[in-house]
């Protein structure tokens, strides 16, 4: 990771966590289909859905995504997926073989420098796009049947997604209920830490060509190592100490009393992504060895210090932007869990200012009944 850190530190005044995320996504792209972790029933693949989120035109989100794509274009350009797509168009593109190489297109990274358009498509396609992308993330072969255009079969997809999106675009296109779907639950979020933000420069710094070439060289070496040894080292394992350390970390992440439902749900996916990150850090350390404790420690540091608080920040800043969406989320929560205290709702929705308005609306329209309980006011949907 050293060449990548040096390149991103000199190439752009973005937060260092953005550079780390971009480096990880280049490793993910090169490793697709060439390495996996022999863990669980179906194994863990190195694909990630990573989103850089932040304020508009400040943190250089799109620039970091663009730099990562430029590196892959130099090293493994066949692994760059299309940018302007509908979900059906993407699946059809993946189903076809490349006209030049005659190889399949099932191992690609989608680079989305302005993810707002993708969110708009997700909104237009309702649940269809989210469902299809969940299947792509999971990596299992599937067939999508279309009444007029025939079926689309995707065999063993290995898809990563590296996206940049500003908070206003997320607020515009996301509803609170979207955070309960499997699609957003699969993302690893990276937002700037306000305490470690680098001062922005008025002009872009000179492009560091030597550092860029060093990154390209490092990626080519890794690509060749993974390709030449993929038959004998395709599936790595956690070594015994790493497995014990990972178990300790996951045990500490178990749901606790008072934790919101959305956070509990995200925990399940978070541990899977921690394994994916561990695999990527190990490929940087040694692509021939099983995943070591050091790799899991590096992944845990990035996951807990950057990704976990980023998820909470992105959720709090973007998911509670409209009355209709918040109403639907609260109604769904009451419908699923039954009587719920106002305190638990506040925890669930990060004490959102619009919550009071939603609850008042529900009361005035006799959608809920309220009564006192051990934790204060309890709300229950009317029969």
Produce one character per residue of 356-382: b if its CB has 16 or more CB atoms within 10 Å, e if not. eebbeebeeeebbeeeeeeeeebbeee
Say if residues 371 and 378 touch (Cβ distance below 8 Å).
yes
Which residue among 214, 237, 260 closes a domain? Answer: 237
Q: What angle do CA 337, 340, 346 make, to 5 degrees?
A: 115
Q: Is residue 100 part of a domain?
A: yes
How many helices (DSSP H) and strands (DSSP E) are in the chain?
Answer: 17, 11
| Number of residues assigned to the chain | 383
Chain-centroid distance of CA 238 in Å reads 23
**Is 299 inside a domain boundary?**
no
Give me 336's structure tokens. 């699923």
The whole model's pTM is what? 0.84
Question: Who contacts 35 (Cβ-Cβ below 8 Å, separation ≥6)?
Answer: 46, 226, 230, 233, 234, 235, 236, 279, 283, 287
- What is the residue range of 127's domain? 2-237
Residue 309 lies in a domain: no
| Same-domain check for residues 10 and 144 | yes
Residues 6+ apart with CB under 8 A from 119: 165, 169, 170, 172, 173, 174
Residue 118 forms part of a structural domain: yes
Q: Is residue 298 part of a domain?
A: no
Residues with Cβ < 8 Å from 57, sequence gap 6 or more? 166
SS3 assignment, position 354: coil
Which 8-state DSSP code applies to residue 291? B
Q: What is the tens place of the pLDDT at every residue in 1-47? A: 899 999 999 999 889 999 999 999 999 999 999 999 999 888 999 99
Residue 140 placed within a domain: yes
The predicted pLDDT at position 169 comes to 85
Mark whether 217 and 75 lie in a shared domain.
yes
CB distance 328 to 278 below 8 Å: no
Q: How many domains does the chain have?
A: 2
How crowded is residue 353: how many other Cβ atoms within 10 Å of its Cβ?
9
Domain boundary among 237, 256, 287: 237
The pLDDT value given to residue 40: 87
Query: Domain end: 194, 216, 237, which one?
Result: 237
243-274 pLDDT, tens digit each: 999 999 998 887 766 566 777 788 888 999 99
Query: What's the pLDDT tens digit per position in 127-161?
Result: 678 888 899 999 988 888 765 667 888 889 999 99
């Amino acid at each position: 990771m050293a060449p990548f850190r040096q390149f991103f530190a000199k190439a752009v005044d973005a937060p260092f966590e953005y550079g780390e995320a971009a480096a990880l996504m280049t490793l993910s792209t090169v490793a697709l289909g060439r390495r996996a972790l022999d863990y669980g029933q179906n194994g863990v693949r190195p694909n990630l859905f990573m989103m850089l989120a932040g304020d508009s035109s400040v943190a250089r989100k799109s620039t970091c995504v663009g730099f990562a794509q430029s590196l892959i274009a130099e090293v493994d350009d066949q692994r760059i997926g299309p940018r302007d797509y509908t979900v059906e168009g993407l699946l059809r593109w993946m189903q076809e073989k490349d006209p030049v190489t005659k190889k399949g297109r099932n191992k690609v990274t989608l680079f989305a420098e302005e993810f707002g358009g993708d969110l708009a498509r997700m909104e237009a396609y309702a649940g269809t796009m989210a469902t299809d992308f969940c299947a792509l993330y999971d990596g299992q072969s599937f067939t999508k049947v279309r009444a007029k255009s025939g079926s689309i079969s995707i065999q063993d997809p290995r898809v990563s997604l590296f996206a940049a999106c500003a908070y206003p675009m997320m607020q515009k296109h996301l509803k609170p209920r979207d955070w309960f779907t499997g699609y957003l639950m699969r993302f690893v979020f990276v937002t700037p830490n306000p305490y470690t933000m680098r001062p922005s420069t008025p002009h872009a710094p000179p492009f560091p060509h030597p550092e860029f070439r060093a990154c390209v060289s490092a990626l080519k070496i890794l690509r060749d190592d993974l390709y030449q040894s993929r038959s004998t080292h395709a599936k790595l394992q956690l070594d015994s100490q790493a497995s014990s350390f990972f178990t300790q970390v996951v045990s500490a992440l178990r749901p606790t009393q008072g934790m919101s439902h959305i956070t509990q749900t995200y925990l399940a996916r978070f541990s899977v992504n921690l394994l994916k990150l561990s695999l990527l850090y190990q490929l940087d350390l040694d692509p021939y060895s099983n995943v070591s404790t050091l790799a899991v420690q590096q992944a845990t540091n990035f996951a807990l210090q950057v990704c976990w608080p980023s998820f909470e920040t992105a959720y709090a800043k973007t998911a509670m932007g409209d009355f209709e969406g918040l109403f639907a989320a609260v109604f769904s929560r009451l419908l699923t869990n039954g009587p719920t205290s106002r305190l638990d709702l506040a925890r669930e929705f990060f004490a959102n200012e619009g919550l009071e308005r939603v609850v008042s609306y529900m009361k005035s329209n006799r959608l809920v009944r309220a009564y006192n309980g051990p934790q204060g006011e309890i709300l229950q949907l009317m029969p």
